[in-house]
């Protein structure tokens, strides 16, 4: 009995110290937020208080539900949880985004999409990430000043933590400057459901490439058919061991499609390497090989550019 009384006394004392200190300056918070903050404080392993520095908690924003419902806007009312939380043997929040009591993905994503629907999120349903059961919070961090997924460098870490093949490819000798931070995943892809293949932001692969390489768009008088069709016929956009991000080393790549009489069909090998004398070596192998002469492989608009030499 004495022990019970002392616990009760200490508890009430602590409670009093939290709520009635005369020197404290108080800030109004919406809903039951103050109640939540009694436990979800700065000492949490997953700190939550930075949400007050995020756009989600700008109370004067007429579209943020936090202004009206506070934490419950995303986590549900969670009455039972507020009475006795899960770590103390009680209930988890109604909608829990992390931890052992994480709610199902559909519930989590619906919570986010109550506000974040439309525009670039319009094609989320059925997109690759949705189909694979990913939740918004698998990439995004909400209770923070700056969500790493919204930062171009943090975003690369985020994406490559699952896309391990692409992670390796960006470190290859010939790659877009992703590791240098000059190009980032969302420059090309929309992870929320792109309108193009592989969740590209554009409707087709080539449209995407032309956004930085508009000089290759044409149309040209003398087209190179696979170039017109799809840049990835010859290029590996995430990185290659071959120069110019090519899928195969030239001139052998060219010879996979060009095998006409005379020089296109020649067996090029070490016999074409330079010898001790000058000049020596095969012009089909040394320097830019085929591109020593065929300099306009992406298409030529010169009336004499049939062989893409002009």
Residues 90-149 touching other proteins, rule: CB under 8 A, are: 90, 100, 104, 106, 113-114, 117-119, 121-126, 130-133, 145
Which listed residue (1, 25, 101, 111) binds other proteins by CB under 8 A? 25
3 binds other proteins (CB under 8 A): no
Q: CA–CA separation, 64 vs 87, rounded Å? A: 29
Q: Name the nearest CA neighbour of 31 among 91, 72, 62.
A: 72
Q: Which is nearer to other proteins, 29 or 140 (CB)?
A: 29
Q: CA–CA separation, 199 vs 132, rounded Å? A: 14
35 binds other proteins (CB under 8 A): yes
Q: Name the nearest CA neighbour of 193 among 114, 109, 102.
A: 109
Q: Are 116 and 74 in contact (CB under 8 A)?
A: no
Q: CA–CA separation, 171 vs 142, rounded Å? A: 30
Footprint of other proteins on residues 229-288 (CB under 8 A)? 229-230, 233, 241-243, 248-249, 252, 255-271, 273-274, 278-283, 285-288
Q: Are 284 and 214 in contact (CB under 8 A)?
A: no
Which listed residue (68, 101, 198, 304) binds other proteins by CB under 8 A? 304
Q: How far is the CB of 1 from other proteins (least distance, A)?
A: 15
Token readout for 290 is 């085929």
Which listed residue (68, 101, 198, 293) binds other proteins by CB under 8 A? 293
Q: How far is the CB of 97 from other proteins (least distance, A)?
A: 15
Token readout for 256 is 């996979």
Footprint of other proteins on residues 40-79 (CB under 8 A)? 41-43, 45, 47, 49-50, 52-53, 55, 57-64, 79
Q: How far is the CB of 59 from other proteins (least distance, A)?
A: 6
Q: CA–CA separation, 293 vs 124, rounded Å? A: 47
Chain centre to alpha carbon of residue 273: 44
* 246 strand-pairing partners: 235
Q: How far is the CB of 48 from other proteins (least distance, A)?
A: 9
Token readout for 22 is 């005369």
Q: Which is nearer to other proteins, 77 or 140 (CB)?
A: 77
Which listed residue (26, 148, 186, 245) binds other proteins by CB under 8 A? 26
Q: Are 286 and 293 in contact (CB under 8 A)?
A: no
Which listed residue (95, 204, 208, 238) binds other proteins by CB under 8 A? 204
Q: How many chain residues interact with other proteins (CB under 8 A)?
A: 159
Cis-peptide into 191, omega within 30 deg: no
In the DSSP assignment, the letter for residue 141 is: -
- Binding segment toward other proteins, per CB under 8 A, in 87-95, 134-142, 184-192: 87-95
Which listed residue (82, 184, 186, 190) binds other proteins by CB under 8 A? 82
- Tell which phi-psi region holds residue 81, choosing left (phi > 0), alpha (psi between -120 and 50) or beta: alpha
Footprint of other proteins on residues 159-178 (CB under 8 A)? 161, 164-165, 167-168, 171-173, 177
Q: How far is the CB of 254 from other proteins (least distance, A)?
A: 11
Footprint of other proteins on residues 5-24 (CB under 8 A)? 7-8, 10-12, 14-15, 17-19, 21, 24
Token readout for 188 is 């090309």
Which listed residue (147, 148, 154, 210) binds other proteins by CB under 8 A? 210
End-to-end alpha carbon distance in the chain: 98
């Amino acid at each position: 009995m004495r022990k019970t009384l002392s616990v009760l006394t200490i508890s009430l004392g602590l409670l009093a110290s939290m709520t009635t200190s005369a020197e404290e300056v108080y800030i109004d918070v919406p809903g039951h937020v103050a109640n939540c903050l009694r436990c979800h404080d700065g000492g949490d392993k997953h700190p939550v208080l930075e949400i007050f520095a995020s756009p989600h908690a700008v109370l004067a924003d007429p579209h943020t539900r936090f202004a009206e419902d506070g934490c419950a806007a995303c986590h549900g009312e969670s009455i039972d949880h507020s009475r006795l939380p899960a770590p103390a043997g009680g209930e988890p929040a109604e909608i829990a985004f992390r931890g052992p009591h994480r709610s199902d993905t559909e519930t989590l994503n619906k919570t986010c999409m109550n506000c974040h629907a439309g525009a670039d999120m319009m094609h989320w349903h059925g997109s690759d990430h949705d189909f694979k059961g990913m939740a918004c919070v698998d990439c995004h961090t909400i209770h923070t000043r700056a969500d790493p997924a919204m930062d171009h460098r943090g975003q690369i870490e985020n994406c490559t933590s699952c896309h391990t093949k692409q992670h390796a490819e960006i470190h290859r000798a010939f790659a877009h400057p992703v590791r240098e931070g000059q190009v980032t995943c969302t420059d090309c892809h929309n992870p929320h459901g792109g309108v193009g293949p592989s969740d590209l932001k554009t409707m087709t692969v080539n449209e995407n490439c032309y956004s930085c390489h508009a000089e290759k768009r044409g149309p040209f008088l003398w087209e190179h058919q696979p170039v017109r069709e799809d840049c990835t016929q010859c290029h590996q956009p995430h990185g290659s061991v071959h120069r110019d991000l090519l899928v195969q080393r030239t001139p052998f790549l060219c010879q996979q499609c060009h095998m006409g009489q005379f020089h296109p069909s020649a067996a090029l090998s070490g016999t074409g390497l330079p010898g001790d004398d000058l000049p020596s070596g095969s012009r089909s192998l040394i320097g830019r090989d085929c591109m020593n002469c065929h300099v306009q492989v992406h298409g030529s608009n010169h009336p004499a550019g049939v062989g893409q030499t002009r």
